[in-house]
Chain A
Amino acid sequence: MTGKTIVITSGKGGVGKTTATANIGTALAMRGNRVVVVDTDIGLRNLDVIMGLENRIVYDLVNVIEGVCKLNQAMISDKHDYELYLIPAAQTRDKNSIEPEQLREMCVELEKEFDYVLIDCPAGIEQGFKNATSAAQEAIIVTTPEVSAIRDADRIIGLLESSGLHNPKLIINRIAPEMVKRGDMMDQKDVESLLAVEVIGLVPADEQTVVAANRGIPVVHNAKSSAGGAFMRIAARVDGEDIPLMDLEPKNGLLSRFKGMVGMSGRAYSHA
């Protein structure tokens, strides 16, 4: 088996990289893939808490790299009936504890066992970013429809390009359909025209994402949530399915309620 390694990155912090990694990883596993997610945010690990696996950590990424433990000893199995593992970041070390080649070597090993190796990249463009991106064959960039996040995403696209990672895919996270509708938030077309990369998913701002993080259960487990549905669709696209992006429409807008009453398309929160 030869899987592929995909890095999930953003430049700016706090746009949802870790949430995206946890959810795409979980959704890919639900679809029957063997998946391992790797937290490379050394010193600021978080993928473990988002996935609810923080109490089961014994060894971490730096332990593997330094040969303190075997690769499979650091892999924490998610407690569900599918094949999903987490390799947590070290919390008491810094990002210079590993070299790009070492992470690359580890991922080559993982690719023999797994369909997908997802790397959760730290924010910033320093050593941690270089480590995470050097190990990957493909990149997914997470942004929000805000000026600072888009600016940083553009910089990341340039840096990925110059390090040989071409054609990154873009996730636009935390879209507020009501704000888009009244012209106070950029939509998919606006972002695409600025960044000139292919959009692989649109994720609405959804309270359930916060609830899911509180509980340590990725939001894709909540099939009815709009964000969960959006991440399922992203995973399907990563997995090679060709499904169209949909418009995000306000849920309870006056207009959509009116449309519902007169029998027009009363679709609530369709998501891509």
Chain B
Amino acid sequence: MREILRWLFNLSGKELDEATAAMSKDTAKQRLKLVLIQDRLELAPEKLEDMKKEIWEVVSKYMVVDDDFMEFEVRRVDDLTVLVSNIEVKDLSDLTPAPTG
């Protein structure tokens, strides 16, 4: 098949590789998506702070967690931008089912 394409379009091997490779605009889009996520988060540190507070509030509804210790950051792992949070749990008792009757 490849040979037929080459013959048909009179392409060198390199040209054929380029023609069948992913379109460069898709690479651009993919890279920009990630960069923009990071830029936008950096742009609004107060928003990041608000989110941190709200997440802490939600978690503390279900378990007793440390007031101070909370790691919270946006990090890039390979192709993904991830939100990493570590919260120290003090007491899990709220998670045990309430006794019935």
Asked if A190 is at the interface of the complex by the 8 Å CB criterion, the answer is yes
Report whether B25 and A154 are in contact in the complex, using a CB–CB cutoff of 8 Å. Answer: no
Give the chain B neighbours of A150 by CB distance below 8 A. 32
Report whether A194 and B43 are in contact in the complex, using a CB–CB cutoff of 8 Å. Answer: no
Distance from B31 Cβ to chain A, minimum over Cβ atoms (Å):
6
Distance from B96 Cβ to chain A, minimum over Cβ atoms (Å):
45
Pick from B28, B31, B32, B44: contact of A158, CB below 8 A.
B44
A153 to B, closest residue via Cβ: B36
Give the chain B neighbours of A146 by CB distance below 8 A. 28
Give 1 or 0 for each of B18-36: 1 = CB within 8 Å of chain A CB: 0000011110110111011
Report whether A147 and B23 are in contact in the complex, using a CB–CB cutoff of 8 Å. Answer: no
Give the chain B neighbours of A183 by CB distance below 8 A. 23-26
Distance from B49 Cβ to chain A, minimum over Cβ atoms (Å):
15
Bound form: Cα–Cα A190–B39 in Å: 18
Q: Which of B24, B25, B33 has the most CB of A within 10 A?
A: B25
Bound form: Cα–Cα A184–B26 in Å: 8
B24 to A, closest residue via Cβ: A184
Contacts A158-B43, A158-B44 hold; do A147 and B32 have CB atoms under 8 A apart? Answer: yes
Asked if A69 is at the interface of the complex by the 8 Å CB criterion, the answer is no
Give the chain A neighbours of B36 by CB distance below 8 A. 151, 154, 194
Bound form: Cα–Cα A180–B25 in Å: 8
Distance from A136 Cβ to chain B, minimum over Cβ atoms (Å):
20
Asked if A185 is at the interface of the complex by the 8 Å CB criterion, the answer is yes
Report whether A190 and B35 are in contact in the complex, using a CB–CB cutoff of 8 Å. Answer: no
What DSSP secondary structure best describes chain A's contact surface? helix
Distance from A272 Cβ to chain B, minimum over Cβ atoms (Å):
19
Pick from B23, B26, B29, B35: contact of A151, CB below 8 A.
B35
Asked if A155 is at the interface of the complex by the 8 Å CB criterion, the answer is yes
Give the chain B neighbours of A194 by CB distance below 8 A. 29, 32-33, 36
* CB-contacts of A189-234 with B (<8 A): 190, 193-194
Give 1 or 0 for each of A115-149: 1 = CB within 8 Å of chain B CB: 00000000000000000000000000000001100
Report whether B40 and A190 are in contact in the complex, using a CB–CB cutoff of 8 Å. Answer: no
A159 to B, closest residue via Cβ: B43
Report whether B43 and A190 are in contact in the complex, using a CB–CB cutoff of 8 Å. Answer: no
Distance from B20 Cβ to chain A, minimum over Cβ atoms (Å):
12
Pick from B25, B31, B44: contact of A190, CB below 8 A.
B25
Bound form: Cα–Cα A217–B31 in Å: 38
Bound form: Cα–Cα A213–B35 in Å: 34
Pick from B26, B29, B40, B44: contact of A154, CB below 8 A.
B40
Distance from B13 Cβ to chain A, minimum over Cβ atoms (Å):
19
Distance from B32 Cβ to chain A, minimum over Cβ atoms (Å):
5
Distance from A162 Cβ to chain B, minimum over Cβ atoms (Å):
8
Pick from A154, A187, A193: contact of B39, CB below 8 A.
A154
Asked if A108 is at the interface of the complex by the 8 Å CB criterion, the answer is no
Query: Can you list 13 A-B contacts (CB < 8 A)?
Result: A154-B36, A155-B43, A158-B40, A159-B43, A183-B25, A183-B26, A184-B23, A184-B24, A185-B25, A186-B28, A190-B25, A190-B29, A194-B33
Chain A residues proximal to chain B, CB less than 8 Å: 146-147, 150-151, 154-155, 158-159, 162, 180, 182-187, 190, 193-194
The 8 closest A-B pairs by CB, nearest first: A183-B23, A158-B43, A186-B25, A184-B24, A154-B36, A147-B28, A183-B25, A194-B32
